[in-house]
A and B are shown apart, each in its own frame.
Chain A
Amino acid sequence: AQSVTQLGSHVSVSEGALVLLRCNYSSSVPPYLFWYVQYPNQGLQLLLKYTTGATLVKGINGFEAEFKKSETSFHLTKPSAHMSDAAEYFCAVSVSWGKLQFGAGTQVVVTP
C-alpha cells in the first residue's frame, strides 16, 4: 500500500533562510506525489506535483521538490523563506483513482 511519512511535525526557519521539508514515500508502483500547503483558516491548495518525466518539479511561490527514487524521497525546498510561507505543508501520494494518502503535515514557522 502506498503511504508517505513527513519527518518533523514542526519546523522553524529564519526569514531568508532555506526551507527544507522532508517527505519519504512507500509505494509498490511508480508513485505520483504531491505537496499541498494550508494557510491558516483555509483549505489545502496544491503547491506542486510529480507524475513522470523531470524529477525536479517547480511549483508556486518559489517552491520546488525533487523526486529521488533511490531514496524514496520527495523533499520540498525553497531557497529563501518569506514570512508569508508560514503554513502547514502536506505531502501526499496517489493511492487509487483520484484518492490521495496524506502525510501528517509539517507546520512551518518563519521568524524575523
Chain B
Amino acid sequence: DARVTQTPRHKVTEMGQEVTMRCQPILGHNTVFWYRQTMMQGLELLAYFRNRAPLDDSGMPKDRFSAEMPDATLATLKIQPSEPRDSAVYFCASGLDNPINEQFFGPGTRLTVL
C-alpha cells in the first residue's frame, strides 16, 4: 500500500533552533507539496515541486524557511531559526502533474516551538 511518509511525526524544539522535516513521496509521483495547517490560518500551501524543481514557494517565509528535493525519494522542509509562530502541523503531499489526479497526503509533522 503506497503512501507518503513523513518524519518526525512530532517535534518539540526551542525558539532559535533549526528544524528539518522530511518527506518520502509515493514512488513514481513527480509533484510534491508542503502545506502548513493551523487553527487560525487553516491549510496553507508553502512550496510546490515538479520533477524535483521548485515551481512555487511564494507561500513560504523566505528568510527562515527553505524547501529542497535532493532526490526523487526525499523532500525536506527546513526552518532556521524557528519561532513560536511556526508551531503548526506540516503536511507533505505527492501526486502526478495531471490536473485530474489527486494529491496524496502524509500523516504530518506536528511542530511545537517553545
Contacts and interface: CB of A to CB of B under 8 A. Distances in A.
A-B interaction: yes
User: SS class of chain A's interface: helix, strand, loop or mixed?
Assistant: strand
A94 B96 CA distance: 12
B100 A51 contact: yes
Given A43-B91, A90-B43, A104-B42, A98 B98 contact: yes
Given A43-B91, A44-B91, A98 B103 contact: yes
B54 interface: no
Contacts of B100: 32, 49, 51, 94
Interface in B85-107: 91, 93, 95-107
Contacts of A46: 102, 104
A102 B102 CA distance: 12
A93 to B, nearest CB: 10
Contacts, number: 54
A102 B43 contact: yes
Contacts of A74: none
Interface residues of B, number: 25
Nearest to B31: A98
B99 A96 contact: yes
Nearest to A9: B42
B42 to A, nearest CB: 5
A45 B97 contact: no
Interface in B5-50: 31, 33, 42-43, 45, 48, 50
Interface of A: 32, 34, 36, 42-46, 49, 51, 90, 94, 96-100, 102, 104-105
28 contacts: A32-B100, A36-B105, A42-B107, A43-B91, A43-B106, A44-B91, A44-B103, A44-B105, A45-B105, A46-B104, A51-B100, A97-B31, A97-B50, A97-B97, A98-B95, A98-B96, A98-B97, A98-B98, A98-B103, A99-B33, A99-B45, A99-B56, A100-B102, A102-B42, A102-B43, A104-B42, A105-B42, A105-B43
